[in-house]
Chain A
Amino acid sequence: MAERVELVRNLETVAKRIRRNIIESVGVGVAGHIGGSFSSADMVAALYFHKMRYSPTDLGRPDRDRFILSKGHVAILQYAALVEAGIVDRKELKKTKTIGSCLQGHPDVMKTPGIEAGTGSLGQGLSIGLGMALAQRLDGQDAKTYVLMGDGELAEGQIWEAAMAAANFKVSNLVGIVDRNRLQATGRITERFNTNPLNAKWKAFGWEVIEVEDGNDMPQLLEALEKADKAETGPTVIIMDTVKGKGLSFAENVVGFHNGMLTQEQYDLAMAELA
């Protein structure tokens, strides 16, 4: 029990550092996808610093778990985690999205160590994850592939092609994660393009569904990931309700911070809030 409390506390601290890294990489006066990065930050912390088996010093080891950021526009979230894991040099953060930087606007397998898949054209990450999970199974690896998707992204038809295929192939080592922050680039999902109801859709497509009431709450996330470990007959999806911009007072649930700019004042405030 004490161990669990300690683990949660550590992961919460890491999640805060990840958020600081994101702010550092976005800087002042340059657009960055802060909202969707912050909503998923706690899950990414749980995956990279507790759940996933991988080695920062041996990135190619074949038995590693893999993480695919299907919502590739929040690349800065993954970079923030890779910096925290010691895979990407911290000094690269400030160069994000500058010419020649290893940190591109979207994840690029050729440019950034630790990136497993090129994403950014939405709706394709689950298919890539399916391919990886199939290969892991062919190779007899006891390894998982995690794919993080946005709720807006679920409008892409390819997601549902992949969902059908994963159930068809009974890929039990594939875990989808839906960040349901209920906002897309242009407004509330229910008002722009409603992808709900999610639970019933995934179930109908043959997936085991695990719902997380508060996807920014570390104990709930850990519990969901542990439940996903029990999958035996097919794929699992974790649908987590989150708050876009979570952890930043002025950005929470604000559509403008889907891809917003920070003023110097906001930057300083953000760093103070995340101290």
Chain B
Amino acid sequence: MTYNNQRIAYGETLVRLGRENPDIVALEADLGKSTMSFMFQESFPERYFEMGIAEANMTSTAAGLAQTGKIPFTHSFAVFSAGRAYDQIRQTIAIGNLNVKICGSSAGLSDFGDGSTHQAIEDMAIMRAIPNMTVLCPADANETVKAVEAMVEFKGPCYIRLNRNNYENVTAEDAPFAIGVPTILREGTDVVVFACGIMVGKALAAAEGLKEMLSVKVVNVSTVKPLDVEKIRKAAAGCKGAVTAEEHSVIGGLGSAVAQALADMPVPVACIGVEDEFGCSSHDYEGLLAHYGLTTDVIVREIRKFA
């Protein structure tokens, strides 16, 4: 099955895995039609808990389920599942290293119409800062399928952020995926771009557009934490510069992680992301991304600064 939407890929994959693994349970805070957790409810009503519009309780209830041998997936928009429930995640899940999976749906600016209150541009920063937490940001729907499979196999707390909107896959359906492993999608020697989520495709487009002039390497960093520092350093070694691209604040996300990893290397880093400001409403997603400089053109511009 090929998907072009991370939410749908997520929802159907969770159902498929739920058939194989009776320990998987799902909790939802009244956004099941958006997060696609309603698919799980249709297949496994007894293992689905509509927790009402109460993210804090949902999150700690998941902790109790995990403590009792279940593999709970909590669902809401990323602003709520990572932001509103931060304390519950920290105190009742992460300190105990519990096997709870947190789905941050409609992350980044992908809920374009709803504006700043619903656009999670700091969720990865918050989740990264919590010890024991793993943070996933798959590049596309193909990778989302494999990420959800890996989350079930993985023991421990894990946050996954998903995009709301449809877009073309940039990774192959049969490409290998493992939590913690960045993948080189395009080889290059002049400049390296580290990207996650929807920005991976834009980074590939930028590299393609520059191919007559520059050799640009593109690395898909779908596990933002733990960051494979050695692989990141190896990918950057010898390059004139590194560009990071993420649909997230430039503070605390992929850019911060990569810059820290490369801090003592002679490779300057330019970070593309939402500058230190909140999102806003828009009638279309691509227009909003452009408003915040999250475009192929901006990636091209930053790459060329290193040439």
Contact = CB atoms under 8 A, between A and B. Distances in A.
Interface of A: 62, 66, 108-110, 116-121, 124, 127-136, 138-139, 145, 157-158, 161-162, 164-165, 168-169
Nearest to B69: A135
A125 to B, nearest CB: 8
B237 to A, nearest CB: 37
Contacts of B52: 161, 164-165, 168
A216 to B, nearest CB: 29
Contact of A158 (B56, B69, B96, B98): B56
B64 interface: yes
B87 interface: yes
B300 to A, nearest CB: 46
Nearest to A62: B69
B135 interface: no
Contacts of B182: none
B198 to A, nearest CB: 33
Given A127-B56, A158-B56, A161-B56, A132 B65 contact: yes
Contacts of B98: 109
B29 to A, nearest CB: 10
A156 to B, nearest CB: 9
A131 B68 contact: yes
Given A117-B67, A135-B69, A128 B95 contact: no
A128 B60 contact: yes
Contact of B95 (A118, A133, A164): A118
Contacts of A162: 57, 60-61
B49 A169 contact: yes
Given A128-B63, A128-B67, A162-B61, 16 more contacts: A108-B96, A110-B95, A119-B92, A121-B91, A124-B56, A124-B92, A127-B61, A128-B60, A131-B65, A131-B72, A135-B65, A135-B69, A136-B68, A138-B70, A162-B57, A165-B54
B280 interface: no
Interface residues of B, number: 31
Interface of B: 25, 46-47, 49, 51-52, 54, 56-57, 59-70, 72, 87-88, 90-92, 95-98
B53 to A, nearest CB: 9
Contacts of B46: 138
Contacts of A124: 56, 60, 87-88, 91-92
B61 to A, nearest CB: 4
Interface centre among A127, A130, A162, A165 (most CB of B within 10 A): A127
Nearest to B65: A131
Contacts of A135: 64-65, 67-70
Contact of A127 (B25, B60, B66, B72): B60
Contacts of A169: 49
A248 B49 CA distance: 45
B64 A134 contact: yes
A132 B56 CA distance: 16
Nearest to B53: A161
B69 A139 contact: yes
A108 B70 CA distance: 20
Contacts of A130: 57, 61, 64
A255 to B, nearest CB: 26
B52 to A, nearest CB: 7
Contacts of B60: 124, 127-128, 131, 158, 162
